[in-house]
Chain A
Amino acid sequence: MAKDVKPRVKVPKSAAVGEVITLKTLISHPMESGQRKNADGSLIPRSIINRFTCELNGVMVIDVTLEPAVSTNPYIEFEARVDAAGDFKFTWYDDDGSVYEDVKPIVIA
Protein backbone atom coordinates (compact mmCIF):
# COMPACT_ATOMS: atom_id res chain seq x y z
CA MET A 1 0.00 0.00 0.00
CA ALA A 2 2.72 2.44 0.91
CA LYS A 3 4.15 4.06 -2.22
CA ASP A 4 7.56 5.47 -3.05
CA VAL A 5 9.32 3.37 -0.43
CA LYS A 6 13.06 3.46 -0.88
CA PRO A 7 15.69 2.10 1.49
CA ARG A 8 19.16 3.64 1.73
CA VAL A 9 22.15 2.47 3.73
CA LYS A 10 25.65 3.72 4.34
CA VAL A 11 28.33 1.27 5.32
CA PRO A 12 32.10 1.86 5.31
CA LYS A 13 33.74 -0.13 2.51
CA SER A 14 36.29 -1.70 4.82
CA ALA A 15 37.15 -2.23 8.48
CA ALA A 16 39.99 -3.71 10.56
CA VAL A 17 39.33 -7.00 12.33
CA GLY A 18 37.41 -6.26 15.53
CA GLU A 19 36.71 -2.67 14.53
CA VAL A 20 33.44 -1.07 15.58
CA ILE A 21 31.89 0.76 12.64
CA THR A 22 28.89 3.04 12.32
CA LEU A 23 26.06 2.11 9.98
CA LYS A 24 23.38 4.52 8.85
CA THR A 25 20.05 3.56 7.34
CA LEU A 26 17.07 5.50 6.11
CA ILE A 27 13.89 4.35 4.44
CA SER A 28 11.47 6.72 2.77
CA HIS A 29 8.06 5.81 4.15
CA PRO A 30 5.02 7.85 5.19
CA MET A 31 4.71 6.04 8.57
CA GLU A 32 0.99 6.70 8.76
CA SER A 33 0.22 6.31 12.45
CA GLY A 34 -3.36 5.07 12.23
CA GLN A 35 -4.40 7.89 14.57
CA ARG A 36 -5.14 10.55 11.98
CA LYS A 37 -8.45 11.22 10.29
CA ASN A 38 -9.37 12.14 6.76
CA ALA A 39 -11.27 15.31 5.87
CA ASP A 40 -14.47 13.21 6.00
CA GLY A 41 -13.73 12.06 9.55
CA SER A 42 -12.77 8.47 8.77
CA LEU A 43 -9.61 6.98 10.19
CA ILE A 44 -6.59 6.78 7.86
CA PRO A 45 -5.42 3.17 8.21
CA ARG A 46 -2.12 2.55 9.92
CA SER A 47 0.75 1.90 7.52
CA ILE A 48 4.19 1.79 9.06
CA ILE A 49 7.46 -0.05 8.92
CA ASN A 50 7.08 -2.20 12.05
CA ARG A 51 10.42 -3.99 12.19
CA PHE A 52 13.96 -3.41 11.03
CA THR A 53 16.82 -5.86 11.22
CA CYS A 54 20.48 -5.93 10.28
CA GLU A 55 22.53 -9.09 10.00
CA LEU A 56 26.24 -9.60 9.35
CA ASN A 57 26.97 -12.94 7.70
CA GLY A 58 23.69 -14.31 9.02
CA VAL A 59 24.25 -13.17 12.61
CA MET A 60 21.77 -10.63 13.95
CA VAL A 61 23.38 -7.25 14.69
CA ILE A 62 20.22 -5.37 15.58
CA ASP A 63 16.49 -6.14 15.59
CA VAL A 64 14.25 -3.12 16.11
CA THR A 65 10.51 -2.90 16.68
CA LEU A 66 9.11 0.38 15.35
CA GLU A 67 5.94 1.91 16.73
CA PRO A 68 3.41 4.28 15.16
CA ALA A 69 4.97 7.30 16.87
CA VAL A 70 8.12 6.99 14.77
CA SER A 71 8.10 9.78 12.20
CA THR A 72 8.19 9.81 8.41
CA ASN A 73 11.28 8.39 6.69
CA PRO A 74 12.75 6.53 9.70
CA TYR A 75 16.50 6.97 10.12
CA ILE A 76 18.33 4.39 12.19
CA GLU A 77 22.01 4.69 13.03
CA PHE A 78 23.87 2.02 15.00
CA GLU A 79 27.24 0.34 15.46
CA ALA A 80 28.52 -3.11 14.65
CA ARG A 81 31.75 -4.95 15.37
CA VAL A 82 33.28 -6.53 12.31
CA ASP A 83 35.20 -9.76 12.93
CA ALA A 84 35.35 -10.98 9.35
CA ALA A 85 34.63 -9.81 5.82
CA GLY A 86 31.18 -10.51 4.46
CA ASP A 87 27.78 -9.01 3.83
CA PHE A 88 25.54 -6.79 5.87
CA LYS A 89 21.92 -7.52 5.16
CA PHE A 90 19.28 -4.93 6.01
CA THR A 91 15.57 -5.75 6.11
CA TRP A 92 12.54 -3.54 6.68
CA TYR A 93 9.09 -5.06 7.30
CA ASP A 94 6.03 -3.10 6.22
CA ASP A 95 2.55 -3.40 7.79
CA ASP A 96 1.23 -4.30 4.35
CA GLY A 97 3.43 -7.39 4.23
CA SER A 98 6.08 -5.90 1.92
CA VAL A 99 9.68 -6.62 2.81
CA TYR A 100 12.44 -4.33 1.60
CA GLU A 101 16.04 -5.50 1.54
CA ASP A 102 19.48 -4.17 0.87
CA VAL A 103 22.88 -5.85 1.06
CA LYS A 104 26.28 -4.18 1.44
CA PRO A 105 29.62 -5.96 1.47
CA ILE A 106 32.46 -5.15 3.83
CA VAL A 107 36.09 -6.14 3.38
CA ILE A 108 38.87 -6.39 5.92
CA ALA A 109 41.49 -3.68 5.41
Chain B
Amino acid sequence: MKLRTSALATATALGLALTGMAWAEPVEDTLTIETDDGQITMVTTAPAPAHLSDVMDTIYSGWHFRDAETRAMQMDDFDNPGMVFVDRGLDAWNAALGKNGESCAGCHQSPESMAGLRAVVPRVDEKTGKLMLMEDYINSCVTERMGLEAWGMTSKSMKDMLALISFQSRGMTVNVATDGAAAPYWEKGREIYYTRYGQLELACANCHEDNYGNYIRSDHLSQGQINGFPVYRLKNAGILSAQQRLIGCVRDTRAETFKAGSDELKALELYVASRGNGLSVEGVSVRN
Protein backbone atom coordinates (compact mmCIF):
# COMPACT_ATOMS: atom_id res chain seq x y z
CA MET B 1 0.00 0.00 0.00
CA LYS B 2 2.80 2.29 0.94
CA LEU B 3 4.49 1.73 -2.39
CA ARG B 4 1.41 2.61 -4.34
CA THR B 5 0.93 5.84 -2.40
CA SER B 6 4.43 7.01 -3.12
CA ALA B 7 4.18 6.08 -6.78
CA LEU B 8 0.99 8.07 -7.11
CA ALA B 9 2.66 10.96 -5.38
CA THR B 10 5.40 10.79 -8.00
CA ALA B 11 2.78 10.82 -10.72
CA THR B 12 1.25 13.95 -9.29
CA ALA B 13 4.62 15.59 -8.96
CA LEU B 14 5.39 14.80 -12.57
CA GLY B 15 2.02 15.96 -13.76
CA LEU B 16 2.48 19.34 -12.11
CA ALA B 17 5.42 21.66 -12.23
CA LEU B 18 8.58 20.08 -10.92
CA THR B 19 9.65 22.70 -8.46
CA GLY B 20 12.47 21.69 -6.18
CA MET B 21 13.28 18.46 -7.99
CA ALA B 22 16.87 17.66 -8.79
CA TRP B 23 17.83 18.65 -12.30
CA ALA B 24 21.09 18.06 -14.07
CA GLU B 25 22.19 19.05 -17.53
CA PRO B 26 22.94 16.24 -19.91
CA VAL B 27 26.64 15.63 -19.23
CA GLU B 28 28.95 17.52 -21.57
CA ASP B 29 31.20 14.89 -23.05
CA THR B 30 32.21 13.50 -26.42
CA LEU B 31 31.58 9.92 -27.40
CA THR B 32 34.67 8.71 -29.18
CA ILE B 33 34.80 4.95 -29.40
CA GLU B 34 37.93 2.80 -29.59
CA THR B 35 37.17 0.16 -32.18
CA ASP B 36 39.21 -2.56 -33.86
CA ASP B 37 39.54 -0.19 -36.83
CA GLY B 38 40.56 2.93 -34.93
CA GLN B 39 38.45 5.63 -33.34
CA ILE B 40 35.02 6.84 -34.35
CA THR B 41 33.25 9.86 -32.93
CA MET B 42 29.48 9.85 -32.58
CA VAL B 43 27.07 12.73 -33.00
CA THR B 44 25.32 12.60 -29.62
CA THR B 45 23.96 16.16 -29.60
CA ALA B 46 22.18 17.66 -32.60
CA PRO B 47 19.68 20.33 -33.54
CA ALA B 48 16.16 18.99 -33.05
CA PRO B 49 14.46 17.82 -36.24
CA ALA B 50 11.95 20.31 -37.67
CA HIS B 51 8.91 18.42 -36.42
CA LEU B 52 10.07 19.03 -32.83
CA SER B 53 10.84 22.73 -33.24
CA ASP B 54 7.94 23.76 -30.99
CA VAL B 55 9.07 21.61 -28.09
CA MET B 56 12.87 21.47 -28.05
CA ASP B 57 15.97 22.93 -29.69
CA THR B 58 18.45 20.17 -29.10
CA ILE B 59 18.30 16.40 -29.11
CA TYR B 60 20.63 14.32 -26.96
CA SER B 61 21.59 10.69 -27.07
CA GLY B 62 20.71 8.82 -23.88
CA TRP B 63 24.47 8.37 -23.44
CA HIS B 64 24.70 11.93 -22.04
CA PHE B 65 22.43 11.01 -19.15
CA ARG B 66 24.30 7.99 -17.89
CA ASP B 67 27.00 8.11 -15.23
CA ALA B 68 30.70 8.32 -16.02
CA GLU B 69 31.37 4.62 -15.58
CA THR B 70 28.55 3.55 -17.87
CA ARG B 71 29.56 6.15 -20.46
CA ALA B 72 33.12 4.86 -20.37
CA MET B 73 32.03 1.29 -21.08
CA GLN B 74 30.67 2.47 -24.39
CA MET B 75 33.90 4.23 -25.31
CA ASP B 76 35.87 1.06 -25.94
CA ASP B 77 34.38 -1.82 -27.88
CA PHE B 78 36.23 -4.24 -25.71
CA ASP B 79 34.70 -2.86 -22.54
CA ASN B 80 31.23 -2.81 -24.12
CA PRO B 81 29.59 -6.09 -23.12
CA GLY B 82 27.11 -5.63 -25.96
CA MET B 83 29.83 -6.66 -28.41
CA VAL B 84 29.54 -10.24 -27.18
CA PHE B 85 26.07 -10.26 -28.69
CA VAL B 86 27.33 -8.76 -31.94
CA ASP B 87 29.82 -11.66 -32.09
CA ARG B 88 27.05 -14.14 -31.42
CA GLY B 89 24.96 -12.54 -34.15
CA LEU B 90 27.89 -12.99 -36.51
CA ASP B 91 28.10 -16.71 -35.72
CA ALA B 92 24.38 -17.05 -36.48
CA TRP B 93 24.79 -15.01 -39.67
CA ASN B 94 27.36 -17.47 -40.98
CA ALA B 95 25.62 -20.64 -39.75
CA ALA B 96 23.59 -22.89 -42.07
CA LEU B 97 20.40 -22.46 -40.06
CA GLY B 98 17.87 -22.80 -42.87
CA LYS B 99 15.77 -25.83 -43.64
CA ASN B 100 17.95 -26.55 -46.65
CA GLY B 101 21.13 -25.25 -45.14
CA GLU B 102 20.62 -21.61 -46.12
CA SER B 103 22.57 -18.99 -44.20
CA CYS B 104 22.21 -15.22 -44.07
CA ALA B 105 25.75 -15.03 -45.41
CA GLY B 106 24.87 -17.28 -48.34
CA CYS B 107 22.54 -14.63 -49.75
CA HIS B 108 23.78 -11.39 -48.20
CA GLN B 109 27.54 -12.05 -48.13
CA SER B 110 29.13 -10.17 -45.25
CA PRO B 111 26.99 -8.40 -42.65
CA GLU B 112 28.51 -5.15 -43.95
CA SER B 113 25.96 -5.43 -46.76
CA MET B 114 23.48 -4.23 -44.11
CA ALA B 115 25.35 -0.95 -43.53
CA GLY B 116 22.97 1.99 -43.51
CA LEU B 117 19.83 -0.03 -42.86
CA ARG B 118 19.56 0.67 -39.13
CA ALA B 119 19.60 4.40 -39.82
CA VAL B 120 16.43 4.30 -41.95
CA VAL B 121 14.38 1.51 -40.31
CA PRO B 122 11.51 1.41 -39.24
CA ARG B 123 10.34 2.21 -42.72
CA VAL B 124 7.50 1.40 -45.06
CA ASP B 125 8.50 -1.40 -47.39
CA GLU B 126 8.11 -0.28 -50.99
CA LYS B 127 6.81 -3.62 -52.22
CA THR B 128 4.29 -4.45 -49.51
CA GLY B 129 3.37 -0.98 -48.23
CA LYS B 130 3.76 -2.34 -44.68
CA LEU B 131 5.63 -0.66 -41.87
CA MET B 132 8.68 -2.81 -41.19
CA LEU B 133 10.79 -3.04 -38.07
CA MET B 134 14.24 -4.59 -38.41
CA GLU B 135 12.71 -7.62 -36.71
CA ASP B 136 10.13 -7.89 -39.50
CA TYR B 137 12.81 -7.86 -42.17
CA ILE B 138 14.78 -10.53 -40.36
CA ASN B 139 11.71 -12.69 -39.85
CA SER B 140 10.67 -12.37 -43.47
CA CYS B 141 13.97 -14.00 -44.44
CA VAL B 142 13.81 -16.54 -41.62
CA THR B 143 10.35 -17.73 -42.64
CA GLU B 144 10.10 -17.13 -46.39
CA ARG B 145 13.68 -17.67 -47.45
CA MET B 146 14.98 -20.18 -44.91
CA GLY B 147 11.83 -22.21 -44.28
CA LEU B 148 11.95 -21.78 -40.51
CA GLU B 149 9.44 -20.80 -37.83
CA ALA B 150 9.52 -17.06 -37.18
CA TRP B 151 11.96 -16.04 -34.45
CA GLY B 152 10.32 -14.58 -31.36
CA MET B 153 10.34 -10.77 -31.52
CA THR B 154 12.36 -10.56 -28.32
CA SER B 155 14.14 -13.91 -28.54
CA LYS B 156 17.88 -14.28 -28.10
CA SER B 157 18.40 -15.13 -31.78
CA MET B 158 16.48 -12.04 -32.80
CA LYS B 159 18.35 -9.70 -30.47
CA ASP B 160 21.76 -11.09 -31.39
CA MET B 161 20.90 -10.39 -35.03
CA LEU B 162 19.60 -6.90 -34.20
CA ALA B 163 22.91 -6.21 -32.47
CA LEU B 164 24.93 -7.41 -35.46
CA ILE B 165 22.87 -5.45 -38.01
CA SER B 166 22.75 -2.22 -35.99
CA PHE B 167 26.49 -2.40 -35.47
CA GLN B 168 27.00 -2.16 -39.26
CA SER B 169 25.46 1.34 -39.26
CA ARG B 170 27.30 2.65 -36.25
CA GLY B 171 28.21 6.30 -36.70
CA MET B 172 25.72 6.85 -39.53
CA THR B 173 23.02 9.46 -39.07
CA VAL B 174 19.53 8.36 -38.07
CA ASN B 175 17.18 9.47 -40.82
CA VAL B 176 13.86 7.64 -40.80
CA ALA B 177 11.19 8.88 -43.22
CA THR B 178 8.17 10.55 -41.66
CA ASP B 179 6.40 11.61 -44.85
CA GLY B 180 4.87 9.86 -47.86
CA ALA B 181 3.82 6.29 -47.16
CA ALA B 182 5.23 6.60 -43.62
CA ALA B 183 3.01 9.55 -42.70
CA PRO B 184 -0.07 7.68 -41.38
CA TYR B 185 2.10 5.37 -39.23
CA TRP B 186 4.12 8.29 -37.98
CA GLU B 187 0.96 10.21 -37.02
CA LYS B 188 -0.30 7.20 -35.15
CA GLY B 189 3.00 6.85 -33.30
CA ARG B 190 2.94 10.51 -32.46
CA GLU B 191 -0.54 10.22 -31.02
CA ILE B 192 0.55 7.33 -28.80
CA TYR B 193 3.57 9.33 -27.64
CA TYR B 194 1.33 12.11 -26.34
CA THR B 195 -1.39 9.86 -24.88
CA ARG B 196 -1.45 9.34 -21.13
CA TYR B 197 -1.51 5.66 -20.19
CA GLY B 198 -1.94 3.58 -17.09
CA GLN B 199 -2.91 4.20 -13.51
CA LEU B 200 -0.24 6.88 -13.37
CA GLU B 201 -1.73 8.60 -16.40
CA LEU B 202 1.58 9.49 -17.93
CA ALA B 203 2.48 9.97 -21.57
CA CYS B 204 5.95 9.40 -22.97
CA ALA B 205 6.14 13.16 -23.41
CA ASN B 206 5.49 13.83 -19.70
CA CYS B 207 8.74 12.12 -18.86
CA HIS B 208 10.96 12.36 -21.93
CA GLU B 209 9.94 15.77 -23.26
CA ASP B 210 8.76 17.76 -20.23
CA ASN B 211 11.13 16.30 -17.67
CA TYR B 212 14.34 15.10 -19.27
CA GLY B 213 17.23 16.15 -17.08
CA ASN B 214 15.23 15.53 -13.92
CA TYR B 215 15.81 12.55 -11.70
CA ILE B 216 13.13 9.95 -11.31
CA ARG B 217 13.79 7.31 -8.66
CA SER B 218 17.49 8.22 -8.89
CA ASP B 219 17.50 7.58 -12.64
CA HIS B 220 18.55 10.52 -14.81
CA LEU B 221 15.71 10.98 -17.29
CA SER B 222 16.84 11.18 -20.89
CA GLN B 223 14.88 12.20 -23.94
CA GLY B 224 14.04 8.54 -24.54
CA GLN B 225 15.93 8.31 -27.82
CA ILE B 226 16.44 4.95 -29.52
CA ASN B 227 19.54 5.73 -31.60
CA GLY B 228 21.55 3.58 -29.17
CA PHE B 229 19.41 0.45 -29.55
CA PRO B 230 19.69 -2.37 -29.07
CA VAL B 231 21.38 -1.56 -25.76
CA TYR B 232 23.31 -3.70 -23.33
CA ARG B 233 21.57 -3.20 -20.02
CA LEU B 234 23.73 -3.71 -16.97
CA LYS B 235 20.59 -4.36 -14.95
CA ASN B 236 19.76 -7.44 -17.02
CA ALA B 237 23.30 -8.33 -18.11
CA GLY B 238 21.77 -8.70 -21.53
CA ILE B 239 20.56 -7.05 -24.70
CA LEU B 240 17.37 -5.01 -24.74
CA SER B 241 15.62 -4.14 -27.99
CA ALA B 242 13.77 -0.89 -28.60
CA GLN B 243 10.48 -2.81 -28.57
CA GLN B 244 11.30 -4.14 -25.11
CA ARG B 245 12.20 -0.69 -23.84
CA LEU B 246 8.93 0.75 -25.12
CA ILE B 247 7.04 -2.08 -23.42
CA GLY B 248 8.94 -1.42 -20.19
CA CYS B 249 8.15 2.29 -20.28
CA VAL B 250 4.42 1.71 -20.91
CA ARG B 251 4.37 -0.86 -18.14
CA ASP B 252 6.00 1.61 -15.77
CA THR B 253 2.92 3.79 -16.11
CA ARG B 254 1.02 0.78 -14.71
CA ALA B 255 -0.77 0.22 -17.94
CA GLU B 256 -1.62 -2.95 -19.77
CA THR B 257 1.17 -2.84 -22.36
CA PHE B 258 1.11 -3.40 -26.09
CA LYS B 259 2.86 -6.48 -27.44
CA ALA B 260 6.25 -6.43 -29.15
CA GLY B 261 5.61 -6.13 -32.87
CA SER B 262 2.04 -4.85 -32.43
CA ASP B 263 0.81 -2.14 -34.80
CA GLU B 264 0.93 0.31 -31.90
CA LEU B 265 4.53 -0.36 -30.91
CA LYS B 266 5.69 -0.44 -34.50
CA ALA B 267 4.20 2.99 -35.12
CA LEU B 268 5.61 4.21 -31.82
CA GLU B 269 9.09 2.93 -32.68
CA LEU B 270 8.98 4.81 -35.99
CA TYR B 271 7.89 8.00 -34.28
CA VAL B 272 10.45 7.73 -31.47
CA ALA B 273 13.18 7.00 -34.03
CA SER B 274 12.20 10.17 -35.92
CA ARG B 275 12.70 12.25 -32.78
CA GLY B 276 16.34 11.19 -33.06
CA ASN B 277 16.81 12.06 -36.73
CA GLY B 278 20.23 13.73 -36.75
CA LEU B 279 21.92 11.63 -34.04
CA SER B 280 24.37 8.83 -34.84
CA VAL B 281 23.32 5.21 -34.77
CA GLU B 282 25.09 4.04 -31.59
CA GLY B 283 23.80 0.51 -31.22
CA VAL B 284 25.08 -1.45 -29.38
CA SER B 285 25.25 1.06 -26.55
CA VAL B 286 25.48 0.56 -22.78
CA ARG B 287 22.81 1.58 -20.27
CA ASN B 288 22.23 0.97 -16.58
Binding site for B on A (CB under 8 A): 4, 6, 8, 10, 24, 26, 28, 71-73, 75
With A24-B78, A26-B78: A8-B84 Cβ-Cβ less than 8 Å: yes
Q: Is the CB of A8 within 8 A of B237?
A: no
| Residues in chain A near residue B81, CB distance under 8 A | 26, 73, 75
Q: Is the CB of A8 within 8 A of B88?
A: no
Q: Jot down 20 A-B pairs with beta carbons below 8 A, ordered by A.
A: A4-B88, A4-B156, A6-B88, A6-B91, A8-B78, A8-B83, A8-B84, A8-B87, A10-B78, A24-B78, A24-B79, A26-B78, A26-B84, A28-B84, A28-B87, A28-B88, A72-B237, A73-B84, A73-B237, A75-B81
| Residues in chain A near residue B79, CB distance under 8 A | 24
For the residues of A in contact with B, the DSSP-based class is strand
Question: What is the CA–CA distance of A4 and B88 in the complex, to the nearest angstrom?
Answer: 7
Looking at the assembled complex, report how far the CB atom of A71 sits from the nearest CB atom of chain B, in whole angstroms: 7
Binding site for A on B (CB under 8 A): 78-79, 81, 83-84, 87-88, 91, 156, 237
| Residues in chain A near residue B91, CB distance under 8 A | 6
Q: Is the CB of B237 within 8 A of A6?
A: no
| Residues in chain B near residue A26, CB distance under 8 A | 78, 81, 84
Question: What is the CA–CA distance of A61 and B288 in the complex, to the nearest angstrom?
Answer: 33
Question: What is the CA–CA distance of A6 and B163 in the complex, to the nearest angstrom?
Answer: 15
- Nearest A residue to B87 by beta-carbon distance? A6
With A24-B78, A26-B78: A71-B88 Cβ-Cβ less than 8 Å: no
Question: What is the CA–CA distance of A6 and B86 in the complex, to the nearest angstrom?
Answer: 11
Question: What is the CA–CA distance of A10 and B35 in the complex, to the nearest angstrom?
Answer: 11
| Residues in chain B near residue A28, CB distance under 8 A | 84, 87-88
Q: Is the CB of A6 within 8 A of B78?
A: no
- Nearest B residue to A9 by beta-carbon distance? B78
| Residues in chain B near residue A73, CB distance under 8 A | 81, 84, 237
Give me 19 other A-B pairs in contact (C-beta within 8 A), A4-B156, A6-B84, A72-B237 excluded: A4-B88, A6-B87, A6-B88, A6-B91, A8-B78, A8-B84, A8-B87, A10-B78, A24-B78, A24-B79, A26-B78, A26-B81, A26-B84, A28-B84, A28-B87, A71-B237, A73-B81, A73-B84, A75-B81
| Residues in chain A near residue B156, CB distance under 8 A | 4
Question: What is the CA–CA distance of A24 and B79 in the complex, to the nearest angstrom?
Answer: 9
